[in-house]
Amino acid sequence: VEVEVDIETGQVSVIDSYVADDCGKALNPIAIHGQTNGATVQAIGWTLYEQLHYENGRLANGNFADYNMATADAVPMLRGGFVESNDPNGPYGAKGASETAILPGAPAIANAVYDAIGVRITDLPITPEKVLAALHAKQQQGASHA
């Protein structure tokens, strides 16, 4: 994963991604590709956008007008592939595909943010506000050591 971080606004943009999946025997490569892309977009959403907000114990953003999620303009051209193996327990040697594409998304994006700005953010989603706060804290820490 490669990201760009706007240090003025705190906005994180995923600009490149490559995802590979071990699916056993690929019975339907086009479906695997589509499912893996969908899982990758979900991972981007969970990592950078999606968050439930509660006010007085009630969900405040429980509709598409108020719930922030990744849209097409937030997703780069997705690249990927799959690794074939023969799973003796699956039908025709196949096994589940794309579910595992969600799991490494958050740590991969968080590590890319760290590589870009030198600040590790461990609380999801990685919002512009959290990025700016982390950069400010880093700047303050640097000033106190000067």
Give the per-residue pLDDT at 144: 75
Residues 6+ apart with CB under 8 A from 15: 2, 3, 4, 76
Query: Which range is least confidently modeled, 46-50, 69-73, 122-126, 135-139?
Result: 69-73
Say which CATH number the domain at 88 has. 3.30.365.10
pLDDT-based confidence at residue 11 (cuts at 50, 70, 90) = very high
99 is annotated as an active-site residue: yes
Q: What is the pLDDT of residue 146?
A: 61
> Residue 47 pLDDT more than 80?
yes
Label residue 50 by pLDDT band (50, 70, 90). Answer: very high
Q: Position of tokens 């991972």?
A: 43
Question: Which pLDDT value is given to residue 143?
Answer: 77
Q: Residues 50, 57: contact at Cβ < 8 Å? A: no
Query: One of 8, 50, 84, 99 is an active-site residue; which one?
Result: 99
- For the stretch 87-107, pLDDT in tens is 999 999 999 888 888 889 999
Whether 44 has a pLDDT exceeding 90, the answer reads yes
Structural domain span for residue 50: 2-144
Domain count, the chain: 1
Nearest-angstrom CA–CA distance, 131 and 42: 21
**H/E segment holding residue 46:** helix 29-48
Q: Please give the pLDDT value at position 37.
A: 93
